[in-house]
Amino acid sequence: MASPPDLKSGATLRNAFGGVLALFIIFLIGVLAFSIRLFSVIKYESVIHEFDPYFNYRVTQFLTKNGIYEFWNWFDDRTWYPLGRVIGGTVYPGLTLTAGTMWWILNSLNIPLSVKTVCVFTAPIFSAAAAWATYLLTKEVRGTGAGLTAAILLAIVPSYMSRSVAGSYDNEAVAIFALIFTFFLYIKTLNTGSLFYATLNALSYFYMVCSWGGYTFIINLIPMHVLLCIVMGRYSSRLYIAYAPLVVFGTLLAALVPVVGFNAVMTSEHFASFLVFIIIHVVAFVSFIRGILSPKMFKVAITLVLTVGIAVCVGAIAILVALVASSPTKGWSGRSLSLLDPTYASKYIPIIASVSEHQPPTWPSYFMDINVLAFLVPAGIIACFLPLSDASSFVVLYLVTSVYFSGVMVRLMLVLAPAACIMSGIALSEAFDVLTQSVKLQLTKLLETPPNAGDTKDGSSTVQSDVVEEDNKMIDNKTEFVKERPSKKSRKKDKEIVEKTRSKSRNQKRLMILPLEASSVAILLIVVLISLYVIHCVWAAAEAYSAPSIVLTSRSQDGLHVFDDFREAYSWLRHNTEVDDKVASWWDYGYQTTAMANRTVIVDNNTWNNTHIATVGTAMSSPEKPAWEIFNSLDVKYVLVVFGGLVGYPSDDINKFLWMVRIGGGVFPHIKEPDYLRDGQYRIDAQATPTMLNSLMYKLSYYRFVETDGKGFDRVRKTEIGKKHFKLSHFEEVFTTHHWMVRIYKLKPPKNRMKEKLKKPKMTSKPLSGTRRDESAKRNPWQ
């Protein structure tokens, strides 16, 4: 062993080196998180992905062009025609404002990046930030090692990656960072009791509220944890500081966001936090009273307060229940209700159920999205209980609730991912701690006393005591040092010392030394496990989640095929139709049409008006003439359908058609789902029902399709179509893309309809369809 001064300088040097190394690793984790998400840019192009990001992109464009005040007042007349939509008041502005600010800063430095570029790279940047936030959170819970491991796991976790690849410009990309960071600040406040962090926490919560509707998760999880702490008898002033300012400031700030507004105090999602707010005050008051009264007086006071308190509580609860019961959905929004009752959506709101990401996940999707973390999580939970602190109990609670939510909706797998990463990070780092330590000790033993087999135990204990002594010395040095320089930093160091002592005590407690062979094999196995995870994540990033979904590719013998039909159609609409023309399509394509084609749509992905969507669904499910009438009453000029039958693109409108029927039928009862099914089966071949074959969607999709191959073989449904040769009387084809994936029809002008009417009796041979047409036309609500 070296002399004390040497030891001191060596230790500080080692500490400094450790700090720099940790900093460097953190930086690299950020780089990793950023660059693994660039597969989509490299494999495809720098383009906005999918559906919702297009809306966010359009909003950001508006913001950067017109400024913040115009943005708050923006009434968008390009969508939900003729209703329009108040964008400023119905959108979570966090993402948009973030990207807008980034763009503004870059442009004021004369770096001429386009809004699109900034939007494309927002998600990767915030993934790096999320990884750093995970590091901070896990470090608060269980030290630097666990923090680094958790951060690196989060940087590449497929679940989060699916929402944050470059181009996936969606709320979640920013929100997950805000979520983790809020949790970190909460834990930090809980650990330090600093009001400074409590304020930051409220601000971070505000950012989360700005970014994503998932903020309700925070405002329910933190009260749950506070309640848990109180119940476990862990109430402290730190807990109070961590919670009370958050509720007060957080709620006030949340109410500033237009889309939340008074919901922050009026909907049931927020009531839990207020209830716990009351409870924590009661508890604080009780502990205060207990402090100033003698035990006997305290007992008297308790009985007094309890009787009054119970009365007041009963009264308050009664009022609350009455308030809640008076609102139609019991004060809960549909999406929240479907979280509490997983069968709620499929029973009552087909529009929520129709979205694939609102379905419950399957087991493979767990494996796909969090991979080996699923196996490491239990180990992490166990590690969190040894010993259980406020912070680790919070992480456990977070994990448990998010596991439940992810079980209800695939989308919420995203919330589970950070929890799983933190848990696995803790588990892995604990495992490595134990294993490497035993390897180290065994090795030193081997090197120091190779021949003396009997001294092994002695040796180990001396080594151990040496280590402990070293630690003690270091602490002594530190305390001296601290006395010399009292400052903010000294406070930091104080904390470090506390940590040190804690870790020391842990070290002492964990004297279980595994055999060298076993531990090295275990290390090897863990490394293999982690490399499996890494391989899976890279594969997921490169193959599974990088496709932008507006441009499709397929590989065949003669090379790569690119299907760029969506943009072809949108570009055609943009350049070759009048600027005020209305385009009707199923709501999936609403955001893309407004963003890429810049044309007014009837419905879009913000499914706020069920009736309007049902109207479009009804039109699509109706025969030509009533459909024409519905569309004409909505001033529609073009109808856009997506058809995958020629190239085998499965998520086309024919496959979504039953949802249109269901949603349409939910509002307009003359559309009945059984009319479109033959013996409960959905089919488009010769066995299909006449209602199906006469529906507008069928006709627009398969118009002249039979002439491509002579048989009309649909490659998605793997069958020949039922009705092959037919003419359109009220619509005319104006554009079909190269692979027929998007077909655009124009409504014929009414003049032709008159002619059609005159001719009709001569031409139609089937009286049955004629009567049905009349019948449905009569019931059409838009006449």
Partner 1 sequence: MAALYTLHSLLTAFLQFRPTSAVTLEAKKLEQKTPIAAFPLRRVEAMAESLAPPVLVRIMLLLLLLIAASPSTLESSSPSPAVRILSAERRVDLTSSIVKVYLTMKVENLGASYVSDILLAFSPTEAEHLAIIKASLTEGKRKKKKYTPLDVNPTELAGIPNGAKLFSISLISPLKTGETTVIEVLYVLTHSLEPFPTEIRQSESQLVYYHDSAILLSPYHVVEQIMYIKTPTNRVESFTKVDPTNRAGTELKYGHFHEQPPFNYIPITVHFENNNPFAVVEELVREVEISHWGSVQVTEHYKLKHAGARHKGVFSRLDYQARPSIHGASSFKQLLAKLPPRVHSVYYNDEIGNISTSHLRTDYQQSELEIEPRYPLFGGWKATFVIGYSVPLEVFLFKSPDGQHYLNFSFGCPLHETLVDQLTIRVILPEGAKNPSAAIPFDSDHFLEKTYSYLDVVGRSTVVIKKKNVVPDHNVPFQVYYNFSPAFMLAEPLMLVTVIFLFFCACIAYLHMDLSLSSSKA
Binding residues for partner 1, per CB under 8 A?
45-47, 109-112, 485-490, 550-551, 562, 564, 567-568, 570-572, 575-576, 596, 704, 707-708, 732-738, 740
Q: How far apart are CA 224 and CA 217, in angstroms?
A: 10
**Distance of closest approach, residue 740 Cβ to partner 1, in angstroms:** 7
Tokens of 557: 């013998």
- As measured in angstroms, the least distance from the Cβ of 111 to partner 1 is 6
User: Do the beta carbons of residue 616 and residue 633 sit within 8 Å?
Assistant: no
Q: In Å, how far are 204, 245, 249, 680 from 199, measured between CA atoms? A: 9, 7, 8, 58
Contact assessment for residue 421 and residue 152, using Cβ atoms and an 8 Å cutoff? no
Helical residues (DSSP H) of 485-541, grouped into ranges: 488-509, 516-539
Complex with partner 1: residue 268 or 577, whichever CB lies closer: 577
Closest CB 506 distance from partner 1, rounded Å: 29
Cβ distance to partner 1 smaller for residue 535 or 562:
562
Residue recorded with tokens 């080196």 = 17
Strands 600-601 and 731-736: unpaired
By beta-carbon proximity to partner 1, the closer residue of 485 and 718 is 485
Taking the least distance from each CB to partner 1, the nearer of 241 and 550 is 550
How far is the C-alpha of 428 from the C-alpha of 530, rounded, in Å?
9
Q: How far is the CB of 96 from partner 1 (least distance, A)?
A: 19
583 touches 638 (CB < 8 A): yes
From the CB of 20, what's the least distance to partner 1, in Å?
Answer: 13
Q: How far is the CB of 738 from partner 1 (least distance, A)?
A: 7
Provide the β-strand partners of residue 636. 582
Q: Which is nearer to partner 1, 484 or 679 (CB)?
A: 484
Please identify, using beta-carbon distances, which residue of 430 and 565 lies nearer to partner 1: 565
For residue 507, give both structure tokens.
């070290």
**Which residue, 134 or 593, has its beta carbon nearer to partner 1?**
593
CB of 649 to partner 1, least distance (A): 16
Evaluate whether 621 touches 673 at the Cβ level (below 8 Å): no
For residue 656, give the nearest of 403, 353, 433 by alpha carbon: 353
What's the min distance (Å) between Cβ of 148 and partner 1? 22
CB neighbours of 773 closer than 8 A, spacing ≥ 6?
623, 625, 626
103 vs 643: CA distance, rounded Å: 37
Tokens of 268: 């049931």
**What is the C-alpha to C-alpha distance for residues 213 and 532, in angstroms, rounded to an integer?**
34
Nearer to partner 1, 172 or 565 (CB): 565
- Measured between alpha carbons, how far is 512 from 722 in angstroms, rounded to an integer? 73
Query: Cβ of residue 119: shortest distance to partner 1, in angstroms?
Result: 12
- Identify which of residues 564 and 675 has a Cβ nearer to partner 1 in the complex: 564
In whole angstroms, the minimum distance from the beta carbon of 494 to partner 1 comes to 10
* Closer of 356 and 487 to partner 1 (Cβ): 487
Angle made by CA atoms 111, 114, 119, in degrees to the nearest 5: 110
Cβ atoms < 10 Å from Cβ of 516? 15
Number of helices (H), then strands (E), belonging to the chain: the values are 34, 11
